[in-house]
Amino acid sequence: MSSENKQERGVHRRTFLKGAALGLAAAALPAADADASLWDAFFQKHFKEMNEAEIRKVLERLEREYEEKYKKRITVSNEKPLPGVLYGYGLDLSRCIGCRRCVYACVDENNQSKDPQIHWITVLRFKKGEKWVDLEESEKYYNPAEVPEKEYFYMPVQCQQCENPPCVRVCPTKATWKDPDGIVVIDYNWCIGCRYCMAACPYGARRFNWAEPNRKPEELNPNTHYLGNRPRYKGVVEKCTFCVQRVRKEPGRYPACVEACPVGARKFGNLLDPDSEIRYLIEHKRVFRLKEDLNTYPKFYYFFAYGV
Amino acid sequence: MKSLIQNFFIAARQVFVGNTAYYLWIAFLSIFILLGLSTYIEQLDRGLITTAMRDQVSWGFFISNFTFLVGVAAAAVLLVIPAYLYNFKPIKEIVLFGELLAITAITMCILFIMVDMGQPMRVWHILPVLGSMNFPSSLLAWDVVALNGYLAINMVIAFYVLYRLSIGKEYKMSVIGPLIILSIPWAVSIHTVTAFLYNGLSARPFWNASILAPRFLASAFCSGPAIMIVLFQIIRKRSEVEIDDRAIFKIAELIAYAMGVNLFLLGAEAFKEFYSGSIHSYPMQYLYFGLHGKHALVPWMWFASVLNISAFFLFLFPRTRENFTTLNMGCIFVIIGVYIEKGMGLIVPGFIPDTLGEIYEYTPTTPEIITAMGIWAAGALLYTVLLKFAIPIYTGKLRFATKEQ
């Protein structure tokens, strides 16, 4: 009796352990049905170490995976930085009315998760006449019936695409880097999710996928870029890329936030082109950059076009 | 070589033999390990959303524990210095147990980093050659080198000493002498590099203070040896290992100096922050007085300060230092005090207020705490097993024949 009992217990323990081990492995591996695809994903090389053919294979695999997951055709492209281009952004604080249309346009263009909610743009509200440049008195969750509010002004913040980005410096795996067109990008298949970059960013621009990102397939923007708005994974970091999928594919096209702004507060262009709008405003308006004392050299210029 | 492996397994068998108390202890730890494993599996499945960390406070309890444990790993070297540089015999005989603690602490550090990662399966990306280690730019890459190097050094020393003891011979200083000397600056480097990891971030004024690395070292030289003193008393009670009281009192004296320096550096930092009162003092203000009505850490920090100051006086006076009741009180005070100060008290205020001025108050969730407890239990199990393996060899109960005999 007792030996029988013992044997039974032994079996139980073994099945339990096996179950636990399998559970652990299943939970740890990225969700994908095909075994081959799973191993391909696991052993994928660093983006910059792959040749053209290898990158094409990766893009095809991702498109297959996304199609399986979302039952919808999603293209993943890899447009290279354009020669002779360095993107710059301008934000007219005298115009911004704090409506957050840029925030939602960005969410839709760049496939941010709805639940948990991820926004790449944060709009800060400040009381007029109070101290504001150090951001300590900012309000991020303002929710009035109507904007603009008389006694407040607004300052949207997003990735400042620094020329000297602290996030890139600290990344232990080189999963984030600055491309020659000045855009700081992330390889979501190389990021290990250590969040060191988030600690290093002085602008609170980076977002982490604390859970599996969630978006209805019909709400997905199917035109994506590998380093930009393609659907992300749980456990990786993401952020604004100046809509890399748009600006590299159709030179001259604006990022979604620039397009959406109802008051024209947002400007975008090529810093290397002396006739561009961004160059005009840098040369003719009084511009400043956020936290200039940190020497990060953002390519995101705040300015006041007129005084109110 | 073959006999070496054979003998290793004979010694390893010791691990599975013990009295009821031993088995109960192992069972007790296993429960916590399994609990921790279950919350971790849940975390792998659902993501780090099971923790209280969010974009505003993106590191929390796991990284706090990691930071504290890097400090504990200093225990070994604080024993090595008096033992070898000053040839202080009572301590020289017990350095081995400090090294085993260092091995345990570093292993726990690695576990805490692993559970904090969003994509743990991709950990190989951080390795040189296999992955794409961002060396020398990223301080995290430096930390990988420093911690694994320290782990390797202590493992080589500990197992070489055990091997020589097992064949009944004195270990050769010509073999491990250089390693022992190397372990001293290396121990300093693991704290320095870990401190620099936070220190180098200009986005976080609380960490971006040059006093951070010295404070790290000072507090590490308190907590590690305090744990060591408690462990030595348990070891000599539960086994035949003899540990001279003089060794324990000497370590206690060293803690007094380290704590003195630690408190001085804290005072220097507090002065600079509060007297100048710029916006960079907000995290410190949050920590000790609360900010905009948010003060989750305030009682903890004052509690830690009281413990650390009391411990300093307990260790300072020979009368209380050489009385085991007050000595142990002091050790417990130091362990808890430094755990608060160099754990949550160091990591969380780095993120409060966040870079856009928001205050998100962080308190770890239950699953987060259970996962951390699982790692502590795993560490306790590892140290128990290492002792079980090492003690019979150390006391001479287990000896192997060599060919020359």
Share of chain B above pLDDT 70, in %: 99
Q: Please say if the pLDDT value at position A14 is more than 90.
A: no
Region B234-245: mean pLDDT is 91
Q: Please say if the pLDDT value at position A22 is more than 80.
A: no
Q: Please say if the pLDDT value at position B404 is more than 50.
A: no
- Looking at residue A4, its pLDDT comes to 44
- Looking at residue A11, its pLDDT comes to 46
A vs B: CB pairs below 8 A: 157
Residue A47: inside a domain? no
Region B10-38: mean pLDDT is 93
Contact B131 A46 (CB under 8 A): yes
Q: Among A120-124, A129-133, A228-232, which is the least confidently predicted range?
A: A129-133
Region A95-116: mean pLDDT is 97
Write out chain A residues lying below 8 Å of B286, CB-based. Answer: none
Q: Please say if the pLDDT value at position A28 is more than 60.
A: no
Q: Does residue A164 sit at the B interface (CB-CB below 8 Å)?
A: no
Long-range contact pairs involving B150-154 (C-beta distance under 8 Å, separation at least 24): B150/B73, B150/B102, B150/B106, B150/B183, B150/B186, B150/B187, B150/B189, B150/B190, B151/B102, B151/B103, B151/B106, B151/B107, B153/B179, B153/B182, B153/B183, B153/B186, B154/B76, B154/B99, B154/B100, B154/B102, B154/B103, B154/B106, B154/B183
Contact B202 A202 (CB under 8 A): yes
Q: Does residue B234 sit at the A interface (CB-CB below 8 Å)?
A: no
Q: Tens of pLDDT along B264-285?
A: 999 999 999 999 999 999 999 9
Q: Tens of pLDDT along B133-169?
A: 999 999 999 999 999 999 999 999 999 999 888 888 8
Q: Does residue B59 sit at the A interface (CB-CB below 8 Å)?
A: yes
Write out chain A residues lying below 8 Å of B120, CB-based. Answer: 28, 192
Q: Looking at the 3D structure of chain A, how many domains does it have?
A: 1
Mean pLDDT score of chain A, rounded to an integer?
Answer: 90
Residue A283: inside a domain? yes
Q: What CATH number is given to the structural domain containing A273?
A: 3.30.70.20
Q: Could you tell me the pTM of the whole model?
A: 0.92
To the nearest whole Å, the CA of A275 is away from the closest chain B CA by 34
Distances (CA, A) of B287 to A202, A305, B152: 21, 41, 37
Residue A11: inside a domain? no
Residue A2: inside a domain? no
Nearest to A69 by CA among A43, A21, A37, A40: A37
Q: Please say if the pLDDT value at position A308 is more than 70.
A: no
**B63 or A22: which carries more pLDDT confidence?**
B63
Q: Does residue B292 sit at the A interface (CB-CB below 8 Å)?
A: no
Residue A177: inside a domain? yes
Q: Does residue B49 sit at the A interface (CB-CB below 8 Å)?
A: yes
Residue A208: inside a domain? yes
Residue A44: inside a domain? no
Question: How far is A197 from B55, CA to CA, in rounded Å?
Answer: 11
- Looking at residue B9, its pLDDT comes to 85
To the nearest whole Å, the CA of B155 is away from the closest chain A CA by 26
Q: For residue B403, name the pLDDT band (cuts at 50, 70, 90).
A: low
Nearest CA in chain B to A192: B119
- Looking at residue B53, its pLDDT comes to 97
Contact B125 A206 (CB under 8 A): no
To the nearest whole Å, the CA of A171 is away from the closest chain B CA by 6
Who among A138, A166, A196 is closest to B140 (CB)?
A196
Q: Which domain holds residue A240?
A: 77-308
Choose, out of B134, B137, B198, the residue to mutate when testing the contact with A (most A CBs < 10 Å): B134
Q: Please say if the pLDDT value at position B401 is more than 90.
A: no
Region A172-178: mean pLDDT is 97
Q: Does residue A133 sit at the B interface (CB-CB below 8 Å)?
A: no
Region A153-165: mean pLDDT is 97
Q: What is the CA radius of gyration of chain B?
A: 22
- Looking at residue A12, its pLDDT comes to 52
Contact A30 B49 (CB under 8 A): no
- Looking at residue A10, its pLDDT comes to 45
Q: Please say if the pLDDT value at position A23 is more than 80.
A: no
Q: Please say if the pLDDT value at position A287 is more than 60.
A: yes
- Looking at residue A20, its pLDDT comes to 55
Residue A38: inside a domain? no
Q: Please say if the pLDDT value at position A2 is more than 50.
A: no
ipTM here: 0.93
- Looking at residue A254, its pLDDT comes to 97
- Phi/psi region, residue B252 (left: phi>0; alpha: psi -120 to 50; beta: rest), is alpha
Question: How far is B152 from B186, CA to CA, in rounded Å?
Answer: 11
